[in-house]
Chain A
Amino acid sequence: MAAQAQNESLLMEQLTSRLTETARYSRPWGQVHYQNWLDSSIRAGGKDVADYTFSQGISWLEQRDYARAVPLLEEACRQKPKHHGYVGWVYLNIIRDYPRALTHYEAYDALTPDLDDREGDHAVSYLRAEIYRFMGRPAEALPGYDKAIALIEDKHGPTWVSYRYYLARGQARLAFGMAGDALSDFEKAIPNNPSSAASSYWKGRALHRLNRPAEARMAYNDALLWLRNSTVEQDRYYEEQDAVYEQQVETALAGLPKLP
């Protein structure tokens, strides 16, 4: 009953704050209102039409309505090429359409040919490498990772490189058959995010490939520990394409030679 009384007063608080917000802001909110406003802003024309078009695309994307979102995002890029960067990120991480992501990053990078452009937190060279890796073309991915990592490593040292960069290059190297180099990447990744299950798992895979099963077992167990004590490596907006799951680690463990 105490819980019910608490919930009732929470509801009262919620409705009271709705009344407060209504008094304070005279424009109604909501997805449909927002879309309608964007529609009328686009119709009105002006210098911000490309941005309104982009926002409308993103708004439909949030609803996962690709048929509406995609034409708007493409149109926004035609009107204002700077949007290529963000739209490339959308194709890479939200829609997972790698060929399209590549086209947009190429167009974005071409805007300033002498510069390794940044989109969000990443150099385009890294993002392009990610696309090649997810397309199953690790050889083409490696130069991009090398460039993005060297940019930071040479200036500030390996502790300043995002563990995701090492983790990604390690996976590309492993796929390309460079198990020793891959292992060194995973070993650099782990200190930069010690609770990364994926880094431990892939370290185990490299060690397994190098025929060091005892160490591989240890790495897989580390991965399981982190998987059981945190969520899969994903953020609020998307699941990492190379997220590692318990079942995968269990399978890898079962693939190791039996202990004597």
Chain B
Amino acid sequence: MGAIGSLYRTTGVRGLWRGLTVIVHCTLFITHSSSAQSITGAWVGVKQELDSGFVCPLPLYLDVRADSTYTLSLIDNAARNPRATWAMNGQRLRLDTLLFEPKQVRLTDTELSLTGTTPLLFRRVQPAGSPGQNEASVRALLTNRIWQKGAARYHFHNGGQACLETAQNGDRAIRCWSVVERDGAVFIIVKGNRTDCSRNYDAPMLVEKMSGNILTVNEFVDRSTGSTLTALGALPAGKPCGAAGFQLCTTCFYAPGEQANSLDKKGPAGRFYAIRQRLQATYVPGERTGPTGVVQVRCIVNCEGQAGRFSAKTYGPDYQLLPNNQPTTNQLVTILQTYFATGWQPGRVRAIPRPLDYVATINIRLVDGHITDVFP
């Protein structure tokens, strides 16, 4: 009870300070823009900046018409908002009832950037298709073939399943794929995970050129670059994609925002008891006097309750960070990796119906190399 009271108090104070900073920081945005540009046209979402230095794809399509109406939809038109009106006076932009101050809007020939809580960037679509290129022809070319793009390999199965293989580690993720045409521009969309095709969009690829076994695409990523998809060969018939390696359910995972203790549940009941029992039974202190401090093991628990990407930090008696690769730490990580790679509870947040990935932390307190406490 005290815990709740106290932590509420902290968040309350912090909330207040955040509120204050809204006022302070308003003055810091200095944007250079020219009001001569027209916002009319088709825009594709490039990125949403969820924190300084952390961006995710923005799977939106913004169609701004000259008759003062616009439509906002998902890039593949899987969902759309009703048509609404827009207005632009100088740099002040109104989208339906949303008002963006001049300092929040930066409009150039090719880019529209909106700053605020989550800065958003859109890029203008300039369809430049080759003759005969349309949704059906691109889909037909991609289907049932393996394509290489940089270090990634895409298996585009008939029926919408995609298998995404990473060259470095051989991991294979099950995704969904489709080809959509928006106002004459053809996009290749890869999204979803093995349980759900409805979110987790990768940056859309705008098809620019098709020639034989090579597709030239323009990816809607931060720095616009052309890439090529090269056909490697046909998919073996009747062989579905099999996932390989530890995988998160979200493709854009921000660890600082996904701590276990911000979720409703940290693990199945008895998890920490089981961890304590296992460590007490399996851990062997070294022969010489061992370390005093805290070993902090972290792993990511995916939405299916599997744990992976274990890492550890070792703190000394005064919480100073000690160098990596301590034998005690390595032993503890190995035990946890061996016995607790599965059986976690997927993350839940009350307002979100689907299970979530999160970071789980296991702290092990040691005195002279002996475990005295294990805590979340």
Contact = CB atoms under 8 A, between A and B. Distances in A.
B250 interface: no
Interface in A53-87: 55, 58-59, 62-64, 66-67, 69-71, 86
Interface in B244-294: 256-257, 259, 261, 264-266, 269-270, 272-274, 277, 294
B322 to A, nearest CB: 9
Nearest to A32: B52
A120 B2 contact: yes
A22 B26 contact: no
Chain B, interface size category, equals: 35 or more
Interface string B312-331: 01010011110000000000
B22 A25 contact: yes
Contacts of B17: 55
Contacts of B95: 19, 23
A34 to B, nearest CB: 7
A30 interface: yes
Contacts of A164: 1
B354 interface: yes
A26 B13 contact: no
A28 B119 contact: yes
A231 B18 contact: no
Contact of A86 (B6, B22, B118): B6
Q: Which of B99, B104, B114, B118 has the most CB of A within 10 A?
A: B118
A156 interface: no
Contacts of A28: 25, 49, 51-52, 115-119
Contacts of A119: 2, 6
Contact of B5 (A5, A63, A66, A121): A121
A18 B114 CA distance: 11
B117 A25 contact: yes
A28 B25 CA distance: 9
B115 A26 contact: yes
Nearest to B298: A64
Interface stretch (A105-113, A137-145, A170-178, A243-251): A243-251
Contacts of B257: 30-31
B343 interface: no
Contacts of B273: 243, 245, 247-248
Given A12-B74, A227-B269, A239-B266, A27 B375 contact: no
Interface string B39-77: 000000000111111100011100000000000111000
Contacts of B9: 86, 120
Given A26-B26, A28-B49, A32-B53, A67 B319 contact: yes
A246 B269 contact: yes
What secondary structure prevails in chain A residues at the interface with B? helix
Contact of B270 (A23, A63, A247): A247
Given A27-B26, A238-B3, A63 B259 contact: yes
A37 B21 contact: yes
A15 interface: yes
Nearest to A228: B269
Q: Which of A11, A26, A89, A93 has the most CB of B within 10 A?
A: A26
A221 interface: no
B150 interface: no
A24 B361 CA distance: 35
Q: Which of B4, B80, B116, B315 has the most CB of A within 10 A?
A: B116
B376 interface: yes
B162 to A, nearest CB: 16
Contact of A239 (B7, B100, B259, B272): B272
Given A20-B98, A21-B117, A30-B54, 4 more contacts: A119-B2, A127-B2, A235-B1, A239-B266
10 contacts: A7-B198, A7-B199, A16-B72, A21-B116, A21-B118, A30-B54, A51-B13, A55-B13, A89-B6, A231-B265
Q: Give the 6 A-B CB pairs with smallest separation, nearest first.
A: A30-B51, A22-B116, A7-B198, A120-B6, A245-B273, A12-B79
